Structure 1
């Protein structure tokens, strides 16, 4: 469901279209993005007209299943295609009937895993995180933090449903609600969304936070406390330590870290959204020596706060912190960095960047904050 209104970029066709073709396949492993990997034989696609294989990213299926896949995107010159499992010939034991009648091929594109037992959804997500950490993060599969990773349930949903506290719908001409199809502008009119939940308060551990209308706040009701508790556990803040809170939002992490380090300690919160930065300062008033700054994190760190910090919290957007921010963080020589990540590929890439500067992954947890979708939240501890 997350960011489902983002539209795919227009791509130029590379030869004959294969959209609409159907192939029988045995499905391979799950991949990052809410699909599984399969391969189809394409007559005449290889050199000298020989048959060749194409990788197809298939939705609505599970590893090991035998299905009929219908190609939804793909031309002769593409490296990979996309498709939907439109008929299941041999089902996985982990398959269930989707609870939502708007879930399935050609229907609402918001959820990826409605056809999967909730407990197994978490196993699939754990597998994706592990694969990204090994392939992009340079970690060994045998590393206990990788091998032992599991995606943890948090409180606030009902068997994976009724958790999303903020949902955006498209409107129909008749005034109804609609969601978009996967990677499409086409609408599917719906009268009920099963992951939609009640609006939640912005209160965490008895502390009320002011948030702008439409401003960022975790959409799963169990998320803020789970993330705050993990960040505090990982960083183990001590009185007097200096804290740098990056991509600070309205000060969720900075507020509780400031409480731990004490009124004489220095806490700096940097946030790209000016309104959120002002609210962060307001939400942390009276705690520690608070300073807030609005602006792009790498630009602010380039020009300001060029002094050592003991602790850093990184909670970047989906694309991750990237090299410039990582380099500016390690230049402050923190003893520990808590990295809160909503994308495992971005997390893995940034872990590799931190490793270049002598920081290793010390702890890792993952949380199921987006049930029924492929999204997963991780918290990593990096230490010198």
Structure 2
């Protein structure tokens, strides 16, 4: 029997290849693939293997740079310093890369996922949002170590790296959490809303009674974040969903509204509609004679949406999963469908339910390139083609990227131009 390969703890000198989805780059050593964090394509680094399950690949962290890429910079956060070895914060992936380099890497990942999963060659450019690389994050969740200090987990680990600051998060929010002690093992969620109010919620992950649910306790703030976007005000539960980048709600609403172009008097669906951000824009487009259906699984979010859009009677609300609601037979056929699913994407059943209604346009918002590519492929199976894609660096310093895709019905028997280029 062949002995199991285990390189854990071994240091390898590696020539770094292309970027891969997930915040690392690809290298090869002795016939195996090594996924390397804290490196850049084209570099030569010494990397320490951190995980090795014995198969065809392992994971490693760069601990020394022999030949640096032009886009390498010094990380602005001390918790991302290479000298810390494995004790680096796992929250950021690209602090060692310039902003331009980060956006190029993310564009490469989106394009590669579309090519590999959806079979589409599509030119991708990731746009910068206003505000720069630091202090853009208004929402964060921290873990608490055994001593009661708040921090962030190491990459692919439950270890907590205690933190005094987080340069990508707004200062008032971080100071509200890191300046005190917490119950060991708890999690702390912090939100800085548009008014400047800071909301802190402590979640006890180890309840006193067996089988009881985690207990959330409001420590600071009202627990209702008041946000402003697209000229409107929105109330959001402090632990509810809202875009974390300061500039994202305005930018995304503008792009979604432009792509949707819902006709006056028409019918629009806002699936995974949250507290009503996109539904508000759709309601303005269809006007009083039209209708907008907002579907959201969180009942608290639906309650907030009802209040946020109380001046838009053309909006109706359904609390439930998108799959359950779309299975109903009494829904009017939509002219436009907007979807903003969670990171896992919409999936086969939802895409099929949407394409069967034959809307004129589908606007799909995605925060995971692989899920986007899979869903684009499913839309194509349902007779729709990708006609526009906008990508945004809504999560600087991390590997995450936000994409907004416009899909329209493909002409019968036609082959999208991007597919002709790929196949030709």
Give the alignment's TM-score, normalised by structure 1.
Answer: 0.89
Larger RCO (CA within 8 A; separation ≥ 6): 1
Q: Which runs of 5+ in 2 are unaligned?
A: 173-191, 195-226, 410-424
Deviations 1:246-276 (A, max 9, x none): 0000011001110111012111000010110
Matches within 5 A, 1:241-320: 241-320=266-345
Distance of 1:267 and 1:288 partners within structure 2: 9
1:136 aligns with 2:114: no
What residue is the counterpart of 1:172 in the other structure?
Answer: 145
What residue is the counterpart of 1:360 in the other structure?
Answer: 385
What residue is the counterpart of 1:88 in the other structure?
Answer: 65
Contact 2:365 2:403 in 1 (8 A): yes
Cα deviation, residue 174, structure 1 = 3.9
Contact 1:306 1:332 in 2 (8 A): no
- Match for residue 25 of structure 1 among 14, 28, 42: 14
What residue is the counterpart of 2:29 in the other structure?
Answer: 40
Number of aligned residue pairs? 351
**Does the residue aligned with 2:139 lie in a helix, a strand or coil?**
coil
Distance of 2:248 and 2:137 partners within structure 1: 11
Distance of 1:200 and 1:305 partners within structure 2: 38
| Structure 1 residues 122 and 241: alpha-carbon distance in aligned structure 2, compared to 1, 3 A threshold | same
Contact 1:18 1:75 in 2 (8 A): no
Q: Which runs of 5+ in 1 are unaligned?
A: 1-13, 42-52, 141-145
1:221 aligns with 2:199: no
Cα deviation, residue 172, structure 1 = 3.3
Distance of 1:66 and 1:74 partners within structure 2: 21
1:121 aligns with 2:96: no
Deviation larger for 288-297 or 298-307: 298-307
Distance of 2:150 and 2:139 partners within structure 1: 14
Cα deviation, residue 16, structure 1 = 4.4
Contact 2:245 2:394 in 1 (8 A): yes
Contact 1:270 1:294 in 2 (8 A): yes
**Does the residue aligned with 2:378 lie in a helix, a strand or coil?**
helix
What residue is the counterpart of 1:46 in the other structure?
Answer: none
